[in-house]
Structure 1
Amino acid sequence: MKLNLKYFAEVKSELAKVVWPKKSEVIKLTLVVLIITIIVGAYVGALDIIFAKLLKFIIET
């Protein structure tokens, strides 16, 4: 039991040392991730459509 208390005390002291990001920084980086995700998703979706049409063309000829 004593080991568990020591562990949590150490966790608490380590968390006190963490430099947490500001709210504005979190929002900005979240928007960057969302934008990149949308761009990559659109790119992959476009490739899927192109390859599906190409495969359909190859199969039908």
Structure 2
Amino acid sequence: MASITQFFRNVSSEMRKVSWPKKKELTNYTITVIITVAILALFFTGTDLVFSRLIEFLLGI
């Protein structure tokens, strides 16, 4: 039981050392992630569409 208690004390100690982002930084990171995900979604949608059409053309469906 003592090791569990010591573990949570160590976790608490380490969490106080963490450098948390400011609100502006967090907003910028969030916008960057959303834009990146949207671009990748469009890319993979386009790639899927092209390959689907290509396979349909080659198979004569």
TM-score after normalising by structure 2: 0.84
Show CA shifts across 1:20-45 (max 9, x none): 11111111111101101110110110
CA RMSD between the two structures: 1.5
Unaligned ranges ≥5, structure 1: none
Quick one: distance in 1 between partners of 2:47 and 2:10? 50
- Regions of 4+ moved over 4 Å: none
Percent identical pairs in the alignment equals 33
TM-score after normalising by structure 1: 0.84
Q: Count residues with an aligned counterpart.
A: 61
